[in-house]
Structure 1
Amino acid sequence: MTLRLRDIGAGLIFASLAIAGYPAFAEVSEATKTVAMTASAPQPSFVAADFTVPTLIEGPGFKLVPLGPDLVKVDFDAYMSSIEHLQRTFSRSDRWPRQGITDADALRDMENEQSRFAGRKSFAYAVLTPDGKRERGSVYVSPSPVKGHDATVRMWVTKADYDAGFDAELYKWVTAWVQKDWPFKSVVYPGRSIEWATWDSMVAASKAGPAVSK
């Protein structure tokens, strides 16, 4: 939240009146100070500051590296090769991937993922062949929107890799990797460890907040 200059000015006026002996303004001044402190308080990161986030992980027949602008071409080629497959199995939407995604769109997406990774807000990885020339899929480690869970992990693989059985292999490997190398106690794999319908209901309930009794 950004405090406007007029809000700050009002706070200074209230503080001055409070010092002059106006108790009502003292209460307002304290409220203004609380708002200012809340606005300037740093937001907690997704993982602890002393946790070393993995940046190169080698698996059987693949490796994981953070998504970023350097991978825009192989990432684009991967998801555009599997539009209908990913709309059905991953995004559950016709908005991504879709025909008409431009180079600028793809680059902006990679810059956003890189920024979130650097800010420790979420962690998106490309699943590459060992030589790094082809992307087989992606893995996303993100904060959980539902209380009681530390993180959500989602992943996709191309249609060709899915047909070759790689999706099941990757899921098995990722669950073991997350359990071993990440600090989470409770991780959800939407659409895998929990049915999509159940997860969607939990997310909706979390956004709605607790029910208010009359």
Structure 2
Amino acid sequence: MLATMAVTGANPALAQASREAEARPSFVPADFDVPTLVETPGFKLVPLGPELVDIDFAAYMSSIEHLQQTFTRSTDWPHKDVSAADAMKDMQTEQARFERRTSFAYAVLTPDGKRERGCVYVYPSEVPGYDAVVTMWVTKAEHDAGFDAELYAWAKDWVAKEWPFAKVAYPGRSIAWADWDAMVAAK
């Protein structure tokens, strides 16, 4: 999904984090077994990749204005002119980052895998004192059904229990975007 381009285009702090993630080696230990399938009763997480391009595209295109307001804080993504080629390129980019272990982007799917409810991203932090940055989005319909709060609570617990990080930032959630942006600018 084009969230990486959009969030990074709209948010200089995340743009810098994305560029730094591209340039650095894995930010998790070599012996850490990165999750590739997480199943819960209400959803499952799988790495973003080309095989998910159609359901990912359908999810974010169903929620353009919602995601512009809640996730990217910009009209750069998503927008009505996102092409199939753009969507595929982003899926390939996310898959390559995952394989290089420089960042980890997950689709949040229904248990049967037929519909995407949102996405979760785990990136290295450029702000001193934080090991990782976790961001996420859900579609407008899922947000209205209360899934955003459920996913956030679940993700905090999952990252705390399953990932090798001492301190994780959740910009736009436990840290206001303005505060996060200021921390990035001050680094």
Q: TM exceeds 0.5?
A: yes
Residue aligning to 1:78:
59
Q: Which amino acid aligns with 1:188?
A: A
Query: Structure 2 residue aligned with 1:121, among 97, 102, 106?
Result: 102
Match of 1:155 in 2: 136
Structure 1 residues 113 and 43: CA distance shift in structure 2, 3 A: closer
The equivalent residue for 1:68 is: 49
Aligned residue pair count = 165
- Gap runs ≥5 in structure 1: 1-41, 207-214
1:137 alignment partner in structure 2: 118
- Code of the residue aligned with 2:79 in structure 1: it is R
2:185 corresponds to which of 204, 209, 214: 204
String of CA shifts for 1:155-202, please: whole Å, max 9, x gaps: 000000000000000000010000000000000000111111100100
Letter in 2 for 1:156: W
Give the percent of matched residue pairs that are identical in Structure 1 and Structure 2.
70
Q: How far, CA to CA, are the matches of 1:72 and 1:203 in structure 2?
A: 31
Deviations 1:4-43 (A, max 9, x none): xxxxxxxxxxxxxxxxxxxxxxxxxxxxxxxxxxxxxx95
Offset from partner CA, 1:87-136 (integer Å, 9 cap, x none)? 00000010010110100000000000000000000000000001100000
Report the AA paired with residue 139 of structure 1. V
Q: Secondary structure at the match of 2:53?
A: helix
> Which residue in the other structure is 1:182 paired with?
163
Whether 1:54 and 2:35 are equivalent positions in the alignment is yes
Please list every run of at least 4 consecutive aligned residues from structure 1 whose deviation after the TM superposition is greater than 4 angstroms: none
Asked whether the 8 Å contact 2:105–2:122 carries over to 1, the reply is yes
| TM-score after normalising by structure 2 | 0.87
Counterpart Cα distance in 2 of 1:111 and 1:152: 21
Say what the alpha-carbon RMSD is for the aligned residues.
Answer: 1.0
State TM-score, norm by structure 1: 0.76
1:92 match: 73
What is the rounded CA distance, in whole Å, between the counterparts of 1:44 and 1:115 in structure 2?
13
- Tell me, in whole angstroms, the C-alpha distance in 2 between the residues paired with 1:94 and 1:203: 22
Q: Distance in 2 between matches of 1:56 and 1:164?
A: 24
Structure 1 counterpart of 2:98, one-letter code: F
8 Å Cα contact 2:131-2:167 kept in structure 1: yes
Unaligned runs of 5+ in 2: 1-22
* Structure possessing the higher relative contact order (Cα contacts under 8 Å, 6 or more residues apart): 2
1-side partners of 2:92 and 2:101: how far apart? 14
